[in-house]
A and B are shown apart, each in its own frame.
Chain A
């Protein structure tokens, strides 16, 4: 072969090998999913349960056998076991919970004729040693059992117990309703506290408090009469089985890497389902509520896409299903609650409101938000309720601003955003900290844990910018997915992502302090205006002075009043971009030198027209 041809052939062969190698590398690279989309290593199980339960719809009672395993992943030995028996808070109107609550919850009253309770019968270790449960509090919402030998670090303990749970007439998220044809079983089984820092983190059940638990695996059988439709946390284990000999049906569910297990059942349930990527979304609703169910499904799908974009995949890819229960109209007390992979909606006001009042959508996207801020990042709802409710409610405000169909209230052309609603709520009781245990707050719980965090986090977002805020939130969720985070953990993440200065003012002034801010135009005159800050919260704002020739923007650092000396000024505005949403009132941030007569006349024309239509409306419009 001629040397040139030989050379060419070798060159071609070389190129061919390089191209093949590159192609191979490319195939490998693209077949490995990016880091953020990869399912994380599953978290270690800490508290796992196997429960076999039978529910009697006539007595509204659950009879069950439970096997509970606790794994000690800490450095300290566990000398005893602590269980929550939450339902005992509803055993009478005299419990701590009831005395704190009134006894009512979100507008629903307790029915003393239909109380709730849990009684644990025999409890023994798996190897047979009997244990004795002693109440920790007077109402036995917390019980303790001493162990013959402590559970050493790295070891586990398994107990078997029999219990009966009497469900109340729907009250405080759980119970039966609809003449007994509906049941929502939440906090229905003896549940471990959280062992951390050498002690059990578990409190008697307070009215304002929610829950705190470890991640684990649940295997739950629920036996009900044939014909009842059941939905639960996790996924169904197998198909719906054939009826048992006694006419009942045993429904099997499994849920992995979750902190709680709830279930709901009714013979009147219907379902709407749709796939959202790898997640099977099901909305289960009572007959007559199909319109509400459609709204819920639509809002869930839209918000799910948003949240996955902001915070990462739902359940980090480990939760294949998401179930939403629309509760019947007379079970409103069970609506508006989150559980891992399942949440409820339909507190009465939400389904009974007109279409333009989108409280049902607000409730839906809020409870969905808890799938990240609570089910995934499992903060302590008793000690730091603002961490899950605040972040979730802030998420709700972001979602409602982006959902199809408009904001929280969009009636007659007028709009009220969810953020605006929470700003108003905050302004009613602004001198409050966000940090605090749930029972430290009385009626101001809603402001401290929902409204103020929404406003504070929204201020933070506008201050640092959306991109930076999302980076902070994503880092927080990524770092603490399937873990317990505290306020200080959040602060550390904020300092890392947004800077120490930002973390300092956010936490020191808004989370741990009760200082407020109201920027106001205090005086105006021909030669200028004076602006003042009411309250001790210090956030610098710019001031814009509009002149005939244009606008001048000047900084106003923390300190004394701002004097805008500008002859011929037309308008002065503090914080023109409305960054500082914690400002108690935005309307007094600005003033015109002269009355805007043209707008006044325009309003007169509009109001006249409205009144004309109203006066003409007699028998027929």
Chain B
């Protein structure tokens, strides 16, 4: 499958099966908006201080630090709200990690299926793959931990011999960790495409995809990363360009970019599904097997 075709098919999948896109976007938006409210309602007094508004507008810590020292006395309720907001951040982040895993199973199933599943089947698919994905995650975490420890030890040894070598090892370690993370993602994709819940075999199937279509995979990953990078840059520049008081413009522009960034992530996943499907189908044919099991819905 040519890379261009791969991207096109992935784009069609993502656009024509919009539920994962919408869910993924909303599952980040609603908690974020809730926490933002919890944190900003108690600070509404700030917005009677022109200097603080200027600090937020110009992103000046000089003025913001003065603002922090001149905070109007908060009521007990405001204090509790703010504390709740702060505490909610790590809690929500942790909870969302599980939710993403569930959603990942559901969206991969959606992209791998011949036809979009029903909402009920969509939900069930997420739960079906949750255990396998957790196991894949644990295995990955264990391997990554070993890699990190090895890199640190090697780095310390290298530092004694030649300091720059330690930097090289640190860089290589970081690249390896990122590669492991992507490999885990591919393993989850391969598991869903093959319909096989065995975690270790999923890693093997992922290896097949990497070995058989390395360039296509690389193009897919780099292409979507570049796209997300450009979107982040655009978001940053536009944030600075739009005055703070133009809240509607800020909301529309930033959320449009958030939708696009979400879509770019899903484009990669849909592309991985397409790639895995082609590779596993070819392998099955080579082995004389019939077409790989379809994921059960």
A associates with B:
yes
Task: Identify the A interface with B (CB < 8 A).
Answer: 287-288, 409, 413-417, 419-420, 423-424, 427, 571, 573, 585-616, 618-621
Shortest Cβ distance from residue A85 to the other chain B in the assembled complex, whole angstroms: 37
Q: Does B5 sit at the interface, judged by CB under 8 A?
A: no
Contacts A587-B67, A609-B258; A592 near B247 (Cβ below 8 A): no
Contacts A598-B245, A620-B185; A420 near B251 (Cβ below 8 A): no
Q: Please, which residues of chain B bring their CB within 8 A of the CB of A615? A: 28, 31-32, 92-93, 96
Q: Please, which residues of chain A bring their CB within 8 A of the CB of B181? A: 619-620
**A and B contact pairs by CB, cutoff 8 A, 23 listed:** A287-B163, A415-B62, A420-B62, A587-B67, A587-B69, A588-B66, A592-B48, A598-B247, A599-B245, A603-B40, A604-B40, A605-B251, A606-B244, A608-B254, A610-B32, A611-B31, A611-B35, A611-B36, A612-B32, A614-B89, A615-B93, A619-B185, A620-B185
Shortest Cβ distance from residue A546 to the other chain B in the assembled complex, whole angstroms: 9
Q: Please, which residues of chain A bring their CB within 8 A of the CB of B50? A: 571, 573, 590-592
CA distance A421 to B48 in the complex (A): 24
B228–A413 touching, CB < 8 Å: no
Instruction: Produce 1/0 per residue, B207-241, CB < 8 A to A.
Output: 00000000000000000000010000001100110
B61–A414 touching, CB < 8 Å: yes
Shortest Cβ distance from residue B257 to the other chain A in the assembled complex, whole angstroms: 8
Q: Please, which residues of chain A bring their CB within 8 A of the CB of B57? A: 599
A597–B62 touching, CB < 8 Å: no
A606–B254 touching, CB < 8 Å: yes
CA distance A573 to B262 in the complex (A): 44
- Starting from the known contacts A591-B49, A606-B254, 19 additional A-B residue pairs (CB-CB under 8 Å) come to A288-B164, A413-B239, A587-B63, A588-B66, A590-B49, A592-B49, A595-B48, A599-B47, A604-B37, A606-B239, A607-B39, A607-B40, A609-B254, A609-B258, A611-B35, A612-B29, A616-B262, A618-B96, A620-B182
CA distance A600 to B93 in the complex (A): 25
A-B contact count (CB 8 A): 159
Q: Does B51 sit at the interface, judged by CB under 8 A?
A: yes
Shortest Cβ distance from residue B88 to the other chain A in the assembled complex, whole angstroms: 10
Contacts A587-B69, A621-B228; A602 near B60 (Cβ below 8 A): no
Shortest Cβ distance from residue A443 to the other chain B in the assembled complex, whole angstroms: 20
For A419, A616, A618, the residue with the greatest tally of chain B CB atoms inside 10 Å of its CB is A616
A599–B32 touching, CB < 8 Å: no
Q: Please, which residues of chain A bring their CB within 8 A of the CB of B164? A: 287-288
The 7 closest A-B pairs by CB, nearest first: A420-B62, A601-B247, A288-B163, A611-B32, A416-B61, A587-B66, A602-B247
Q: Which residue of B lies closest to A521 (CB)?
A: B49
Shortest Cβ distance from residue B153 to the other chain A in the assembled complex, whole angstroms: 19
A600–B40 touching, CB < 8 Å: yes
Q: Please, which residues of chain B bring their CB within 8 A of the CB of A602? A: 243-247, 250
For B39, B53, B239, B265, the residue with the greatest tally of chain A CB atoms inside 10 Å of its CB is B53
CA distance A605 to B51 in the complex (A): 20
Q: Which residue of B lies closest to A290 (CB)?
A: B164
B52–A595 touching, CB < 8 Å: no
Shortest Cβ distance from residue B90 to the other chain A in the assembled complex, whole angstroms: 10
Shortest Cβ distance from residue A328 to the other chain B in the assembled complex, whole angstroms: 10
CA distance A486 to B39 in the complex (A): 52
**CB contact between A417 and one of B62, B100, B255 (< 8 Å): that residue:** B62
Q: Please, which residues of chain A bring their CB within 8 A of the CB of B258? A: 609, 612-613
Contacts A420-B61, A604-B247; A586 near B93 (Cβ below 8 A): no
Residues of B52-72 at the interface with A, using a CB-CB cut-off of 8 Å, are: 52-53, 55-57, 59-63, 65-67, 69-70
B51–A586 touching, CB < 8 Å: yes
Q: Which residue of A lies closest to B245 (CB)?
A: A598
Q: Please, which residues of chain A bring their CB within 8 A of the CB of B51? A: 586-587, 589-590
A599–B49 touching, CB < 8 Å: no
Q: Does B198 sit at the interface, judged by CB under 8 A?
A: no
CA distance A619 to B262 in the complex (A): 14
Instruction: Produce 1/0 per residue, B159-188, CB < 8 A to A.
Output: 000011000000000000000011011000
